[in-house]
Structure 1
């Protein structure tokens, strides 16, 4: 009875998310893609609709729902072909909010989480640097303590929500005398802080409406109370949260592939060639069978990973397999779908073309495919 009730609530929430996306996002999405950013007001609307930080506890303004409810938002964004916006929401709701929830002080939680739930405060996390890329141990941004303040100097790039963010969690080196990741801390910087500047909104191959920015920190003074998770403990906090990030990315990858397949099925049923619909041709049927199987196998695996994450039993190697496998599968499936569209698939007005370019970054952010392979290989060879 309890399981049936939970599933009914989950389906009701899914229906609400679907309606909101179809009525408030899809009609405007193409325009936002051309503008290269969504309107700031959309964040408030998402908050009012209950689509932000849904598994943040009620004590901090959230719905206190389970992790699976948060993944419904990612899934519905992926299915609707709104992966760029879905990624922005994931950074805000599934990464930044949970860094604060799991590593923050009571004061930090009370100050930021309720505003993140309503969309009044948009979150970003600044790890990647121009010279470091995926190598978090190569971080050069420096935070030096000066009395009851830290002074931050450095720059970051490829920062999702960089234009809209009201707070950014900055990974900085607080102990330059130790090697690798041992001297890294996380600090919360609010927009408007003197010395903090946003660079340009980067022009990307895909995910155009997801604002992605350079950020600059020049003698930025923040109080020591802005430290998140303890001095020189930043890398441990990052490692603890990567599982949630990667299972979320895998979930959205599967949903995006499923959405692309649905578009393609509709198209091949209607498109005529060689005297009949494309769906009658054996090559079309076999390709669809292969891609549907590919998607379904990965869907089952990431569903298992989400269940294990919620139970606290998901290991690093498994979530790395999910991130690697699902994002690589997304690339294969979307490429195969575009091929079935023929020349029309290469025309921007067809949503399959957006699905194609948006899919490419999935194998890069959140840990590249190559890093996932290295993590998995270490586990295999241990």
Structure 2
């Protein structure tokens, strides 16, 4: 069996999804997702110019050897561009493997550990009242876990994942359009004074059963992160995400020494070497890598196994930058992983997205149920894809009150 060709598509409904389709001489094809949020043309070019020419003629069943070839053979290893490209290839090869076996991927991993996988929604609001309305909306939809973000009184601009005006609270997604980024102004002191009380009010309003998550998004220094984690202990958060910048693995030691609040981190990581010490030293409770940025299913499955040895559970990234293809890869890993924790979930199921990526995966009452279709269980409509083209965009950037650049 040989790979005969591969095509890269860039575009989608309100997102520049980077979709890879690998074809074989037996007519079986596989799909992968290489979307690198707001840098989408870079992994697409890496695939087209360097990786696909080397794929032609290879046996797609040898996915391990192909992954090692591209990772070790590149010499300059890792990085989000390369790993997103490797991840797309790896997903597509696993998709082919599952179709050849006529089995869903979770069966190739070892079968199901659960029927449904818990997901969390994103609730947000321009202020606390607005946020509570958003949380109520998701609770009414059947969600049992909700990430909560809201505007901080006196903050000069809206902060991470917070709308500029009240009422825009259902399925809110930050506007990334335009190549020049929007500037957000951050005030740590105001955040530290306000947010613990806001979280406590949310707990009082919704009771003990709702799983509440909160994302600091790398904004605090290690000492500040430790203070904040200690302050919110009475709230009983399901997790506190990214309290400090993710590059410094030792920073989490200080947080761990001063608080028992569960910590989740890792969405910006792209290999086991970014998180192995965090896992081995048990400084985190949830690992947040994604199938795309981690280099695909093959390396992510190894990270899940390592995490399981150290009481760390999965909490895979699921922002709108991931297409239904990479989300499907994670759904299969969620079904299998003995140490599954939770899955981030943003509503991708618009009619336009469903038409581009038809799938049998479904979400009901705050749980995702994986399809039993062979392979990834998601397809790609090339005629629909022709409707879309690339549109450049950028993440916002963050500055402190005095203008200093800060961590987004």
Q: Is TM (by shorter chain) over 0.5?
A: no
Q: Report the TM range for the smaller structure's normalisation.
A: under 0.3
Task: Tell me the TM-score normalised to structure 2 length.
Answer: 0.25
Task: Tell me the TM-score normalised to structure 1 length.
Answer: 0.27
